[in-house]
């Protein structure tokens, strides 16, 4: 459970000063904003996020990605990646570094099998760095609004 609630739309009232906005000035400038008319509040924004983003696929109308499900399920398992020669990757995380075994060939089928470069975790520390994409994606798909707090990554507690 989070240690505190982060404000979203119901921010603290402020007065003009260094590094501060002035709530009354903002209300005057943007009087028709749903933030100031009472149309939106933290409860409504949270409900909108859950129904429109968390529980349903996002559809950009074909602009870039079309329909995108944010469940993060179905990531490949590295153990299922075919590796070896003949143009296959050297390992599930690296391409082949081989040169064709036949002089002058540009045919990927002529590439020999090579040992993959060892995988090292260079992207941080903590329990999440050793997860496969499949395991991490499955953990992320269980996340909910408010479930990501300090000390957690991909649903794994430190």
Could you report the per-residue pLDDT of 76-100, keeping only the tens digit for each? 788 888 999 998 999 887 888 888 8
Burial letters 135-150, b for 16+ CB under 10 A, else e: bbbbbbbeeeeeeeee
Q: How confident is the model at residue 127 (pLDDT cuts 50, 70, 90)?
A: low
Q: Which two tokens stand for residue 130?
A: 């050793």
At residue 156, does pLDDT exceed 70? no
0.75 exceeded by the pTM? Answer: no
What is the rounded average pLDDT of the residues 102-115? Answer: 88
Residue with tokens 């240690």: 3
* pLDDT 10s digits, 2-34: 556 666 777 778 888 888 888 889 889 999 988
Distance (Å, whole) CA 142 – CA 73: 10
Distance separating alpha carbons of residues 72 and 60, to the nearest angstrom: 18
- The pLDDT of residue 101 is 75
Per-residue pLDDT reduced to its tens digit, 26-82 = 889 999 988 888 888 888 888 888 888 788 888 888 888 888 887 767 777 888 889
124-128: long-range contacts (C-beta < 8 A, 24 or more apart)? Answer: 126/153, 126/156, 126/158, 127/153, 127/156, 127/157, 127/158, 128/153, 128/154, 128/156
Is the pLDDT confidence value at 149 over 80? no
Identify the residue with better confidence: 136 or 107.
Answer: 107
| Alpha-carbon gap, residue 142 to 131, rounded angstroms | 15
Residue 150 or 49, more confident: 49
CA distances from 7 to 11, 13, 46 (A): 6, 12, 11
């Amino acid at each position: 459970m989070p240690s505190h609630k982060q404000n979203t739309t119901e921010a603290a009232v402020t007065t003009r000063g260094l590094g501060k906005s002035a709530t009354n000035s903002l209300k005057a400038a943007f009087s028709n904003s749903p933030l100031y008319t009472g149309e939106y509040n933290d409860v409504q924004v949270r409900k909108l996020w859950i129904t429109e983003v968390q529980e349903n696929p996002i559809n950009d109308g074909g602009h870039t990605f079309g329909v995108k499900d944010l469940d993060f399920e179905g990531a490949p398992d590295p153990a299922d990646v075919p590796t070896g020669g003949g143009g296959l990757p050297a390992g599930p995380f690296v391409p082949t570094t081989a040169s064709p075994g036949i002089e002058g060939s540009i045919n990927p089928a002529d590439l020999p099998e090579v040992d993959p470069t060892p995988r090292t975790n260079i992207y941080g520390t903590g329990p999440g760095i050793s997860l496969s994409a499949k395991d991490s994606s499955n953990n992320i798909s269980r996340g909910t609004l408010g479930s990501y707090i300090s000390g957690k990554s991909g649903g794994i507690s430190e």
